[in-house]
Amino acid sequence: MKPLNSAEALSLIKESITQIIPDADFTLVEPDDKFRDVLELDSLDFLSLVELLSERAGVRIDEEDYPDLTTLSDTTRFLVERTTQRS
């Protein structure tokens, strides 16, 4: 799998969140907002998101990586860096 750029990573994140919360309203989420709070993702939703992102991006996401997945900006940066390291 090729490395993701920022636009691809953000699209992947939004698609994955929408799979878990079909009516997620991204107009309410600024890039540096904690999206779990704004979109009301509970712990199980978040774990489902981590699994989806890991599977779809082809990268391993460990529990110690969770603090890097709090905002759309941070999560995008994480996926871009992790997919670039993988290549």
Contact 39, 29 (CB under 8 A): yes
* pLDDT tens column, 55-65: 999 999 999 99
Closest CA to 39 of 22, 24, 20: 24
- Total-model pTM: 0.94
> In the structure encoding, which two tokens stand for residue 84, read together?
């670039």
Q: Whose structure tokens read 């599977």?
A: 55
Sorted by sequence, the CB contacts under 8 Å of residue 27 that are 6+ apart come out as: none
Report the mean per-residue pLDDT for the chain.
96
- What parts of the chain have a pLDDT lower than 70? 87
Contact 86, 79 (CB under 8 A): no
